[in-house]
A and B are shown apart, each in its own frame.
Chain A
Amino acid sequence: MATTANVRKMPAAATADMLRPSRSLWKDAWYQFRRHTLAMAGMVTLIILILGTTIGPFIYTTPINGIDFGRAIQGPSVAHPFGTDDLGRDMLARVLWGGRVSIAVGITAVLLAITLGTAFGALAGYFKSLDNPLMRITDLFLSLPILPLLLIIIFLFRDTLRKLFGPEVGIFLMIVTVIGILTWMPVARLVRANFLSLKNKEFVEAARAVGATDLRIITKHILPNVLSSVLVAATLGVGGAIILESTLSFLGLGFPSDVPTWGRLLFDAQNYLDLAPHLALFPGLAIFLTVLSVNYIGDGLRDALDPRKGG
């Protein structure tokens, strides 16, 4: 950082051909990322969607549960930009509110999955004695049929958790935990592979020579080098988790109807496809746009963080 500050004080003309201001890995990645048009478009879209769902309900204050049969199943209009559902509830308000839950589930579940995956992968990759048992567990989890298991776990334990934590928090905790526990395996494999190739490098040897503990080597020396690939996996994982949550809700096994997640809105829209296709269109487009932007961001990040692609 000190050199960058000094360089900036010098006249620009003199420094231009002397040296380029040094860039950290992340600044370099950001520079690359900005040139990936679709990834930037994805990021702008995602930011708008996140702002819309978090701040939106404060600006667009129409209640999500304002039942009024007098205006049931209306198409989009000025008063109700996304139309109304079978009970006359405003769809825009419900889509905005639902996005909050869907995006929150996606991000939290992935945070859990990458934490688990990184822990498993780091331990298996670093300690040779743990490698075999931990990887056997990973293989076992990879052999689980994820969607059917998710369905039965959520169906069977839904009422118990509802009683313990209330309808919204209980189901949220359960869906996030179950998705997290059933999807950490690819991250574990990725982190393990990275650890295996990094742990014999000179810089690790140097760290060990000056007396760094295993914990310090893992967290301060190897992990930062693995972070970029974990970040890419995490980004792509958010899209997957959002789809998984919507799938559960769409099958009627996710959030209850009083919590309008995008998947749940689609589940409810199924019966009115002929009268009110807009009920399916808006939440469906919302899921699609979110997942598409997340995937493009992940793609851009992968390109930007790949050191083989010089910039």
Chain B
Amino acid sequence: MGRYVARRLLIAIPTLLIISFVVYAILALAPGDPLAQFAANPNVPPEVREKIRVSLGLDQPWHIRYVKWLLALLRGDFGYSFGSHSPVAGLLIERLPNTLAVVGVAYILGLLLALPIGMLGAVKRYSLFDHAATTFAFIGFSVPTFFTGLLLIIIFSINLRWFPFIYDSTLKVKDLASFVDQLKQSIMPIAVLTLFNTAALARFIRAEMLEHLPLEYVRTARGKGISERLVILRHVLRNSLIPVVTLVALGIPAVFAGAIVTEQIFRVPGIGELLVRSIGTSDTPVVAAIVFLFAILVVLFNLIADVLYAVLDPRIRYA
């Protein structure tokens, strides 16, 4: 087991190195100029522009910049943002809580809703509830999140005036009133992501349970005379959850990526919103850092999923 984890870790490191290289190469070789805004400004003379270029390290060839960037990254230094002239790490830390609050709550809520929905759908297969749940799941992951978001805004912000449609990041939770405000502005972004997560997970849980229900160990459990409730909860559910746990881990990076869109709709000042904004202003250090952060998330959760699978399923042995 220990050796298996070690080997997976050893694969993860070169993967991350290659991804960091690819991301940096794409950014460096692209035709855009990060100093285009200065170039367009006639008040900035060419020699000043050259000085800015040198101060940002842009006069060196890109492979040297890559090595420097990577070495700094290993020390936890993400570099300086071109746009705001502040450390990228600071920008990330400032925005991470907003993203985590929305994404995290939506994912946990999604899982909590999906478990009973998927389970009941499988146990009472082809019942009215099952049909309703399956249809809901199908619709849930066929609606793009940006359309659900706009629909919610039209219904709840514009027509009913229940919730504000722009997320106020300056809001501090001090008392009950501000807490209610925070709740109100978080509901819609969370609901959009929850709907999507619930749909995808419920479908998967239902399918997994259905695979297990006709198996022999279930018949044995029933034959022993234990109640149907215990058969489902203690035997079928536990076994069906093994692939679900890995799916939940694998899905986390995708949920972060999905948050890019949701944050854009509701103007939630999170990581995704920062990424889209920085791409628009050619703020290379910020873009590189965020894309690499996403890559780390993907690799990390792939690793976690594999290890969890090995821990949870004793049938799988690793040499």
Within the assembled complex, what's the spacing in Å between the Cα atoms of A151 and B290? Answer: 12
Interface size range of chain A in the complex: 35 or more
The secondary structure that dominates the B interface is: helix
Closest chain B residue, CB of each to CB of A155 = B279
The reply to whether B144 and A159 contact each other, CB–CB distance below 8 Å, is no
Q: Is the CB of A145 within 8 A of B144?
A: no
Cβ contacts under 8 Å, A143 to chain B: 15-16, 19, 295, 298-299, 302
- Given A152-B27, A284-B150, are A243 and B144 also a contact pair (CB < 8 Å)? yes
Could you say which residues of chain B place their CB within 8 Å of the CB of A243? 144
Distance of B307 from chain A, by nearest CB (Å): 16
Given contacts A144-B19, A145-B291, A253-B279, contact A156 B26 (CB under 8 A): yes
Q: Does A251 contact B (CB under 8 A)?
A: yes
A118-172 at interface with B (beta carbon < 8 Å): 139-140, 142-149, 151-153, 155-157, 159-160
Q: B153 to chain A: which residues have CB within 8 Å?
A: 273
Partner of A292, one of B138, B165, B297, B298: B138
Q: Indicate if B101 sits at the interface (CB-CB under 8 A).
A: no
Binds A, one of B45-53, B75-83, B219-227, B257-265: B257-265
Closest 7 CB pairs of A and B: A156-B30, A145-B294, A284-B147, A292-B142, A147-B257, A291-B142, A277-B154
Q: Are A246 and B146 in contact (CB under 8 A)?
A: yes
Minimum C-beta distance from B109 to chain A (A): 22
Question: When the two chains form their complex, are residues B253 and A280 in contact, meaning their CB atoms are under 8 A apart?
Answer: no
B42 is an interface residue with CB less than 8 A from chain A = no
CB atoms of A287 and B144 under 8 A apart? yes
B310 within 8 A of A: no
A144 touches B295 (CB 8 A): yes
* Cα distance, A157 to B25, chains bound together (Å): 13
A273 touches B147 (CB 8 A): no
Which residues of the partner chain B approach A17 to less than 8 Å between Cβ atoms?
none
Q: Is A250 an interface residue (CB 8 A)?
A: yes
The residue among B23, B31, B147, B258 with the most chain A CB atoms within 10 A of its own CB is B147
Judging by beta carbons under 8 Å apart, are B260 and A269 in contact? no
Query: With contacts A144-B298, A147-B257 known, is A277 near B158, CB below 8 A?
Result: yes
What are 19 A-B pairs with beta-carbon distances under 8 A?
A: A140-B19, A143-B16, A145-B294, A145-B297, A145-B298, A147-B257, A148-B275, A149-B291, A152-B23, A152-B26, A266-B150, A273-B154, A277-B158, A284-B144, A284-B150, A287-B144, A288-B144, A292-B143, A295-B142
A38-59 at interface with B (beta carbon < 8 Å):
none
Q: Does B71 contact A (CB under 8 A)?
A: no
**Residue A270 at the chain B interface, CB threshold 8 Å:** yes
Question: Would B143 and A288 count as touching, CB distance under 8 A?
Answer: yes
Task: Take A148-B291, A156-B27, A247-B144 as given contacts and tell me if A270 and B298 are in contact as well, using a CB distance cutoff of 8 Å.
Answer: no
Contact with B along A266-280 (1 / 0, CB 8 A): 100110011001001
Q: Kindly provide the distance from the CB of B25 to the nearest chain A CB, expressed in whole angstroms.
A: 11
CA–CA, A220 and B153, complex, Å? 54
Contact of B26 among A145, A153, A250, A269 (CB under 8 A): A153
Whether the pair A239, B147 counts as a contact (CB closer than 8 A) is no
Check A287 against B32 for contact (C-beta < 8 Å).
no
Residue A97 CB within 8 A of the other chain? no
Which residue of A142, A152, A156, A274 is within 8 Å of B31 (Cβ)? A156
Contacts of A33 in B (CB 8 A): none
